[in-house]
Amino acid sequence: MKFKMNVTVTGAKFFNDSIEGKHYDTTTIFVLLDLDDSQGRAKGMAAAEYRFPSSALFESIKNLPFPHEAELTLNQVTSGKVTKTTLEAHRMVPSVNRQTGEVAKV
């Protein structure tokens, strides 16, 4: 199931190398998500990771300001027991400077 989500991206890293003869090429982005406060034992936010299957994403966002607001396209699949969520697209969305009212350029 594909879905979109607006998030605050706090960081990104990439890996593009071989380990024991197997090549890996990924970008991992870190986003803020609300903690589950339904039981009253957590409050606030934490960073969650989403992986993209290419370091090309890192190259395309490395010069953006961090943190920044973005719309993510995610794909969620399941084996019946394990659910896996992968990142399919990242699009920076304009943010408004709360002090000046100016819209940031994307």
Per-residue pLDDT of the chain (106 residues; tens, 9 = 90+): 999 999 999 999 999 999 999 999 999 999 999 999 999 999 999 999 999 999 999 999 999 999 999 999 999 999 999 999 999 999 999 776 666 666 666 5
Whether 98 is in a domain gets the answer no
Strand 2-19 and strand 22-34: the pairing is antiparallel
Whether the bond into 67 is cis, omega within 30 of 0: yes
Question: What total of structural domains would you count in the chain?
Answer: 1
Q: Please return the burial class of 92, using the count of CB atoms within 10 Å of its CB with bins 0-12, 13-18 and 19+.
A: middle
CATH of the domain at 9: 2.40.50
Return all residues near 47 (Cβ < 8 A) that are at least 6 apart: 10, 11, 30, 31, 32, 33
Whether 32 is in a domain gets the answer yes
Whether 106 is in a domain gets the answer no
pLDDT confidence of residue 104? 62
pLDDT confidence of residue 63? 95
Whether 74 is in a domain gets the answer yes
Whether 71 is in a domain gets the answer yes
Q: CA 88, CA 23: separation in Å to the nearest integer?
A: 20
pLDDT confidence of residue 100? 67
Whether 102 is in a domain gets the answer no
Whether 48 is in a domain gets the answer yes
- Domain residues for the domain of 62 are 2-92
Residue 6 CA, chain-centre distance (Å), reads 9
CB distance 75 to 86 below 8 Å: yes
